[in-house]
Structure 1
Amino acid sequence: MQDAIGVDVSKAMLVAYCSLINECRQFSNDAAGLAAPEQWASDDIAVIVFEASGTYHRELERHLSRRGLTFAKVDPRQARRFAEAIGRVAKTD
């Protein structure tokens, strides 16, 4: 099985969850923190998923693109609608 990493992006923090090892960690939303999720997870990263959150996700997106990693930027509205469609009435993150 390959890793999928979900990242909740805020101004100061990146909160990442790795599905393969069922672990959550926090990283700073700066140059050092941007590299941490890929180093923390295994080499079998399939995709890193994050919501487009104002301007706070842009550095993460640039970093992943430069590294050639596969990522999916999700529209928060679409994520919310999907959660509603499958019967989840919780926050999308």
Structure 2
Amino acid sequence: MIVNERETQEGLLVTVCDADVLGETFESDEITLTVTEKFYGGDAVDETAAVDSLSRATVANIVGTRAVELALEEGFIDEANVLEVGETRHAQLLRM
């Protein structure tokens, strides 16, 4: 998985994606999702490190089948809030 952390005025922004989706574009009906290096690029990490980053995130963007599954398994997101975009999955997390 690829993880990127950025401190913002609103808190910690974390992006997590499967390595194989980085640089890809996915489309379904009204949604186009491009997993850009600029936004999603970061460090290759194991699942434990990805969970650590998500646990500290104020806002997170999660893309890829495995990354979304991990976020579901760990209780960060709910299945009802996961989007199917082409051949991948996407979810966002916002802690208030």
Instruction: Classify the TM-score, shorter chain.
Output: 0.3 to 0.5
Larger radius of gyration: 1
Using the size of structure 2 for normalisation, the TM-score is 0.36
Which structure has more relative contact order (CA 8 Å, sep 6+)? It is: 2
